[in-house]
Structure 1
Amino acid sequence: MDTVAGTATQPEVPYIADPYPTLARIRSNGPVSILHSDEGLPMWVIARYRDVRAALADPRFGQDARRAQALADDRVAGVTLGGDVVHMLNSDPPDHTRLRRLIHAAFTARRVAAMRPMVDRITTSLLDDIAGRRTVDLVKDFAFPLPMLIICELLGFPAEDRAAYRAWSTAILTHSDDPADFATALGEMTDYIGGQLRHRRAHPGDDILTGLLAARDAGELTDDEIVGMVFLLLIGGHETTVNLLGTATLALLRHPDQLRWLLANRPALPAAIDEFLRYESPVSMATLRFTTEQVDIDGVRIPAGELVLVSLGGANRDPDRFPEPDRLILDRSDPGHLAFGHGLHRCLGAFLGKLEGELALGALLDRHPGLTLAADEHELPWRNTIMLRGLESLPVALGD
C-alpha cells in the first residue's frame, strides 16, 4: 500500500514573516506534503534536504512552463502559473541546454571576477549617495539599485528606467489581489524589452544584448527566446541580491555576536556569504516543477502529471543536514546550501550574486560598523510571496 502524503494548508501572512516553523512541520509530516493554492490547485511539497537535492537533479521533474500550465488547467480553471514568457528556468532539455549554453560564458567565475571593479564602483557611488544621512531604507537606497545598476550595465539597458524594472518585477513575482496586475506588468515589460532590442540592433554595443542579437542572426535563438532570456536576466539578475543584502543585514542586526565576529574577521566575509544564503534563502521555493512519470520519495508515491514545489528554504533549515539550522553561524565549515539550486537549473548568476553580496556588505560594514535597526523588527514588511524570501523595506540608522 502506498504511503499517504501529509497535508499543509496554504500559508497565511504569518508564514510570510517567518516561514520556518511551517517548513519544519512540513518536513516532520513526511518526505512529501500537499499544499493547496488559493484557487484550490494541489501542489506536492518537498522540503527535506536530501529529497530536495535529489529532486533538483532528477529529470523526472519537468519544468516546461507550457506543460505545467496545461496540468493546472486540467485541475482548476483560471489559474495562471506565470509561464507566459519562456526562458531557461521554465524549459527542459534540449531547449534549456541550448539557451543556457548561449549565455553561460558571460557568467563564468573568470568573467565575474573581472566585474569586481564595476561592482566596487557602483557600490561606492551608492554609499556616497547616502553618506551623511541619519537613516536610510537599505532596500530602496542600496540593496535594490546595486544589482539593478549592474545588470543594466551588462545588458546595455538605461539605468534611469530601473524603477520601472522593479515595479514590473514586483508585480510579476509577488501576490496581488488583482490578477490583472500580473498581466499588465508582463505585457509592459515584454513591450519594453522589444523596444530595447530594436534600439540595440540599430546601435550595437559591447553588452549581452548585442551578443544575443548576434546569436539570433546566426539562427541560434528566436526573437521570443531573446525576450525570455532578457526577461530572466533582468528579473533574476537583481532579485536574489536584493533579498540577500536585506536579509543578511537584518540577520547581523538580530545577532550582534555574529556582527562583532564578522567585524573582527573581515577576511571571512566571502565564506560568511554562504551562511547568509543558507540562513535566509533569497529564493525560498525553486521554480515550479511537475512529474513526467511516477516518482517515489522515501515510500511516498507522486503520480505522473502532478505539480511539485521544491523548498530551498526548507532544505537549508533541515536539522538532519545542518546542526542548529535556525542559528546564524558565520564560521560554519561546511556550507552545502541549496540557495542557488542544484543540477541543470542551478542559478547561472551564482558567482555574480556572491560577489555582489561580498563587496556590498563588506563596504557597508566598513563605512557603517555602528549600523542599527531603525524600526520594530516585528513590523518589517516582507515580500508577499512564498517563492521569494526578502524584505520590502529595511530602515536603518547608519551610525558612525
Structure 2
Amino acid sequence: MLTDPHAVYAHMREQAAACPMRSLDGSLMWVVGRHEGVRSVLADPRFANDPASAGAPLMQVDAMRNLGLAEELIPYLADTLLDNDGAVHSRLRRLVAPAFSARRLLALRPRIERLTDDLLDEMAAHAEDGVVDFLGRFAYPLPITVICELVGVPMSDRPAWLRWTHALSFEQEKLGETLGPLVDHTRALVESRRARPADDLISELIRAQDGDRLTDRELVTMVLSLVIAGHDTTANFLANSVWALLTHPEQLALLRADPELTPQAVHELLRWCGPVLVSRLRYVTEDADVGWASFQAGDAVMAALSGANHDPREFPDPERLDITRRHRTRGEAHVSFGAGPHYCLGAGLARHQSEIALRRLLARWPSLSMAVSPEELNWQPVSGMRKLERLPLRLDGARPAGPPLHRDRPGPDGASA
C-alpha cells in the first residue's frame, strides 16, 4: 500500500462501482473509486459526514476516548465544520467563507510571496553541503505561517502553534497533553481580540457572534480546525509536487520553459499526486439507489479520491503526469479538494500558495535536484494519505542570494530569522 497506493485503489475501482471492504474494527464499508461515483457520493446529502444522522457508531469519538482525551476536549476535534451537515454546516461555513474570498487571497498574495522568499533564503542558509530537507525547512513552515496570519495568530506564537499542530498530526499518543494547551491558548487569543479587534479571521468571527449564531466553543473549534487543516495537506502537496517534477524531468523542463503553465501544472499535480487519497467516511441516512449502486441506511461509504483522479473513464492515460493536460469539462476535473457542500474551504488558498512556491523555488535554483535516489525516500504509514517523511534536495546552481532576510518572522526554532 505504501509503495503504490494508487494501484490499490485502482484495483478496487475496477472490481465494482462500490467495492466492499472491512475497516480496521471489522465493520463493513463500501469503497467508491470511479470518478462519477465519487462526485455523486460527495454531492448527495443522503451521504452524511455525521455518523449520528445515520444511526452509525461514533468511531471517531470512541477512538479519542481510547487515546485518553478528556470528554470536554473531544468536541474541539469531533464537532467541527467537517463533522456537521445540512443547516448547521451551512451556517458555520457561511461565517468563515469570506476569509477565503478571491479578494482576500489577492490582498494576501504579496505577503505569501515575501514569506516564500524568506523561506527560500533560509533553505539556502541551512543547507549542509548544498543539501536541505524541503519538508522541514519550507513545505511545513510556509502554510502554517500563512494560515496563522490569515486567522490572526501573533508571530511570537507561531513556533508554538507549529509544534502543537505537528504533534496533533504525528504524535497521537500525546493528543490530550497537546490539545489542552492549544485550546486554552486559542481561548486567550479570542479574548485578546475581543479587547483589541484586528483585520483577521478571529476578529471577523467575534463580530459574527450575535444571538446564537456562533458560540464560544464553536469559535475556538473553527480557529483550531482551520489552522490544523490549513497547513498539513498543503505542506505535503508541495513536497509531493516537487518529488513528482524532479522524477519527471520532461515535465519539469516544460514548466521551467513556460512558468505561465504553473496554475495548470498545480491542477495536474493535485490529480496525479495529491496527498489526500480518500474522503472521510460518509454515512447513508436513508436507502439510496444512485443508479450505479444501491445502499442501505446506515451504510458507511468511503470515496477513493485517488481512484477517481486516476480513472481512465475520465482521464485518458491517467498514470501519465502531463502538466499540459486538457479536460473535457470546464472547471476542476480532479476531486482532490472533494466536491459538493464539503468542498475544501481553503482550496483557493492552497492553490495560491502552491503556485507561488513552485514558481519561486524553480526560478531560484535552476539545477535543483533530489539529494537521494527516489527509492531511498520513505513514505509515512498514514492511512488514506500519501506523505513523505523527508525530501532532501540539492540546491546546486543557486543564483546569488537576494536581499537580506526580513526580520519580522520567527524562524523554525522560534528565534528571529
TM-score of the aligned structures, taking structure 2 as reference length:
0.85
Whether contact under 8 Å (1:281, 1:312) holds in the other structure is no
Is 1:110 aligned with 2:97? no
- Which of 197, 207, 214 does residue 207 from structure 2 map onto? 214
Structure 2 SS opposite 1:35:
strand
Q: Could you tell me which amino acid in structure 1 is paired with residue 276 of structure 2?
A: V
Q: Could you tell me which amino acid in structure 2 is paired with residue 187 of structure 1?
A: G
Q: Measure the CA separation in 2 of the matches of 1:213 and 1:88.
A: 17
Is 1:348 aligned with 2:345? yes
Q: Which residues in structure 2 correspond to 1:63-82 (within 5 Å)?
A: 63-64=49-50, 66-67=52-53, 71-73=56-58, 78-80=62-64
Q: Could you tell me which amino acid in structure 2 is paired with residue 36 of structure 1?
A: R
Which residue number in structure 2 is paired with residue 193 of structure 1?
Answer: 186
Q: Measure the CA separation in 2 of the matches of 1:350 and 1:129.
A: 27
Is 1:357 aligned with 2:354? yes
Change (3 A) 1:76 1:196: closer
Structure 2 SS opposite 1:338:
coil
Which residue number in structure 1 is paired with residue 69 of structure 2?
Answer: none
- Which of 12, 18, 26 does residue 26 from structure 1 map onto? 12
Which residue number in structure 2 is paired with residue 396 of structure 1?
Answer: 393
Can you list the C-alpha shifts for 1:245-295, whole angstroms capped at 9, x where unaligned? 100000011101111111111111111110011011232222221110122
Q: Measure the CA separation in 1 of the matches of 2:34 and 2:313.
A: 8
Aligned length: 381
Q: Measure the CA separation in 2 of the matches of 1:158 and 1:23.
A: 42
Q: Measure the CA separation in 1 of the matches of 2:230 and 2:351.
A: 12
Structure 2 SS opposite 1:309:
strand
Q: Could you tell me which amino acid in structure 1 is paired with residue 31 of structure 2?
A: V
Can you list the C-alpha shifts for 1:64-119, whole angstroms capped at 9, x where unaligned? 26547x6225x999545987432221110101111111111111122212211011
Can you list the C-alpha shifts for 1:193-214, whole angstroms capped at 9, x where unaligned? 2232223223322211111112
Which residue number in structure 1 is paired with residue 33 of structure 2?
Answer: 47
Is 1:224 aligned with 2:217? yes
Which residue number in structure 1 is paired with residue 87 of structure 2?
Answer: 94
Q: Measure the CA separation in 2 of the matches of 1:41 and 1:72.
A: 10
Q: Measure the CA separation in 1 of the matches of 2:25 and 2:368.
A: 43
Could you tell me which runs of 5 or more consecutive residues in structure 2 were left unpaired when the two chains were aligned. Answer: 66-73, 398-417
Change (3 A) 1:163 1:87: same
- Which of 224, 247, 252 does residue 245 from structure 2 map onto? 252
Is 1:156 aligned with 2:152? yes
Can you list the C-alpha shifts for 1:325-354, whole angstroms capped at 9, x where unaligned? 111100001251111111111111111111
Q: Measure the CA separation in 2 of the matches of 1:112 and 1:263.
A: 25
Can you list the C-alpha shifts for 1:42-72, whole angstroms capped at 9, x where unaligned? 322111111001111101001126547x622
Q: Measure the CA separation in 2 of the matches of 1:77 and 1:151.
A: 27
Which residue number in structure 1 is paired with residue 24 of structure 2?
Answer: 38
Change (3 A) 1:77 1:288: closer
Whether contact under 8 Å (2:51, 2:57) holds in the other structure is no
**The 10-residue stretch of structure 1 (59-68 or 149-158) with the greater mean CA deviation from structure 2:** 59-68
Which residue number in structure 1 is paired with residue 135 of structure 2?
Answer: 139
Which residue number in structure 2 is paired with residue 10 of structure 1?
Answer: none
Change (3 A) 1:77 1:227: closer
Whether contact under 8 Å (1:340, 1:346) holds in the other structure is yes
Structure 1 SS opposite 2:348:
helix
Q: Measure the CA separation in 2 of the matches of 1:108 and 1:138.
A: 29
**The 10-residue stretch of structure 1 (223-232 or 256-265) with the greater mean CA deviation from structure 2:** 223-232
Q: Measure the CA separation in 2 of the matches of 1:77 and 1:66.
A: 11
Structure 1 SS opposite 2:225:
helix
TM-score of the aligned structures, taking structure 1 as reference length:
0.88
Q: Could you tell me which amino acid in structure 2 is paired with residue 236 of structure 1?
A: A
Q: Measure the CA separation in 2 of the matches of 1:384 and 1:378.
A: 16
Q: Could you tell me which amino acid in structure 1 is paired with residue 101 of structure 2?
A: T
Which residue number in structure 2 is paired with residue 369 of structure 1?
Answer: 366
Which residue number in structure 1 is paired with residue 270 of structure 2?
Answer: 277
Q: Measure the CA separation in 1 of the matches of 2:60 and 2:110.
A: 50
Q: Measure the CA separation in 2 of the matches of 1:365 and 1:310.
A: 34
Which residue number in structure 2 is paired with residue 331 of structure 1?
Answer: 324
- Which of 27, 42, 47 does residue 56 from structure 1 map onto? 42
Could you tell me which runs of 5 or more consecutive residues in structure 1 were left unpaired when the two chains were aligned. Answer: 1-14
Q: Measure the CA separation in 1 of the matches of 2:60 and 2:45.
A: 26
Structure 2 SS opposite 1:290:
strand
Is 1:311 aligned with 2:304? yes
Whether contact under 8 Å (2:275, 2:385) holds in the other structure is yes
Can you list the C-alpha shifts for 1:129-173, whole angstroms capped at 9, x where unaligned? 122531111011001111111111111113454454344444545
Q: Measure the CA separation in 2 of the matches of 1:266 and 1:65.
A: 45
Q: Measure the CA separation in 2 of the matches of 1:66 and 1:362.
A: 45
Q: Measure the CA separation in 2 of the matches of 1:385 and 1:195.
A: 33
Which residue number in structure 2 is paired with residue 9 of structure 1?
Answer: none
Whether contact under 8 Å (1:145, 1:162) holds in the other structure is no
Structure 2 SS opposite 1:114:
helix
Whether contact under 8 Å (1:47, 1:314) holds in the other structure is yes
Identity between Structure 1 and Structure 2 (%) = 40
